[in-house]
Amino acid sequence: MNINDPYVAWEQLNTSYGTPGAAAIFVEFKEVTQMQICDDQDPGQVIGKMQSTFTYLAANGLTLPDSARAMILLSALPKNWGGFASTLLATLLVVLPAGTAVGLPVLTFDTVLPKIHKEWSWKSNWSVMPKDDKIL
């Protein structure tokens, strides 16, 4: 390229090389599907990275259904959380059947996320509430 205007040169470079190809998107997709939360690890860090990767994928043309994102999140939970995941999945619909009243719990990233935080709080014994029955 023999361009004198740096703005035009940048735009051409960005157009040519700034868009990730299918291979780069696949690398991120594979990474997000293989993320794992350790038994003693606060899930917040992995969940944050997962959300970031979902945003990147969507910005580059790969938008996953919300129920798939929720299932990827559940698959990242530690193995000893299997009962939690099973119970949660038993209480949520993947999609609302036609004619079903809105308001039923549906499997989405946003419905699963607070339940995971609550479970982590319980499992890790971290709480802002007093541990004993005494009233302060």
According to the 3-state scheme, what is the secondary structure of 4-51?
CCHHHHHHHHHHHHCCCCHHHHHHHHHHHHCCCCCCCCCCHHHHHHHH
Question: Rounded to an integer, what distance in angstroms lies between the CA atom of residue 40 and that of residue 36?
Answer: 12
In the chain, where the domains are located? 18-123
**pLDDT 10s digit of each residue in the chain, 136 long?**
567 788 888 777 777 776 778 998 999 999 999 999 998 889 999 999 999 999 999 999 999 999 999 999 999 999 998 899 999 998 888 876 666 666 668 889 999 999 999 999 888 875 555 555 544 4
How much is the pTM?
0.74
